Amino acid sequence: MHTMHPSTCEDYLEAVLTVTTGTGRPATAEEIAGALETDPDTAGTALSALVRDGYLVRTPEGGIDLTETGRERAATVARKHRVLQCFLTEMLGIDGAAASREACTLEHEISDETIDRLSSYIDCPRPRHPGRRRCGRSTTTLLDFSEGDTVRVTVLAQPGCNRRLLDLGILPGEMVTIRRKLPNQGMVVRAKGCDIAISPEIAASIFVEKSG
């Protein structure tokens, strides 16, 4: 049995990670072959090699799951993929599908150092650019939702100015319910069991996504 090319190995691990995260249970060989668009036989061979190398384990039910080492390596590659794809689409304006293919090739060669720098380059908040679009995050704000909606906060633009929001429990990860929305966009949201009235411009700085 020949040794797998590192990029193939990483592609498989990434696929297992995607499938298992998506379904929440161990993957099957068919699912992985489907995700990578190869035939099940090739996939079977590759998966066996990865099990032998200690990246994957076969579960008693016949599924395939990542080992700790495998999960780590897969997560690193997945992060590289995300950062690259973000850079290609958001910064260079390449179309999504093309960027994804490109990222798939680049992710295996790029160094960790470069990825870190690229990531902080993308993330670095520029003055006068609050609430810039971020990859993989929603770009909808509280203003895009209506009365009665429950949403999850993703990002607070201008975090320095609105410290009070943090202290009242309106911060990334928290669920808030819109209790009232006036035609002038002023709103009352419920967070931590308390009703908070906020001005439209504050609501516009709270990025949220539909929960569930």
Which of 68, 109, 112, 123 binds another protein (CB under 8 A)? It is 123
Among 92, 93, 184, 212, binds another protein (CB under 8 A): 184
End-to-end CA distance of the chain: 45
> Among residues 120, 133, 139, 211, which is the contact residue for another protein, using CB under 8 A?
120
Q: Residue 58 or 132: which CB sits closer to another protein?
A: 132
Angle between helices 6-23 and 68-86 (to 10 degrees): 90
For residue 6, what are its two tokens? 């590192």
Among 42, 197, 210, 211, binds another protein (CB under 8 A): 197
Coil, strand or helix at 29: helix
Q: Does the protein bind another protein through residue 201 (CB under 8 A)?
A: yes
Secondary structure (DSSP) of 45-101: HHHHHHHHTTSEEE-TTS-EEE-HHHHHHHHHHHHHHHHHHHIIIIIT---HHHHHH
Closest CB 114 distance from another protein, rounded Å: 15
Q: Return the range that interacts with another protein (CB under 8 A); candidates 27-35, 45-53, 95-103, 159-167.
A: 159-167
Is 144 strand, coil or helix?
helix
* Binding stretches for another protein (CB under 8 A): 119-120, 123-124, 134, 155-156, 159-169, 171-174, 179-180, 182-184, 186, 188, 192-202
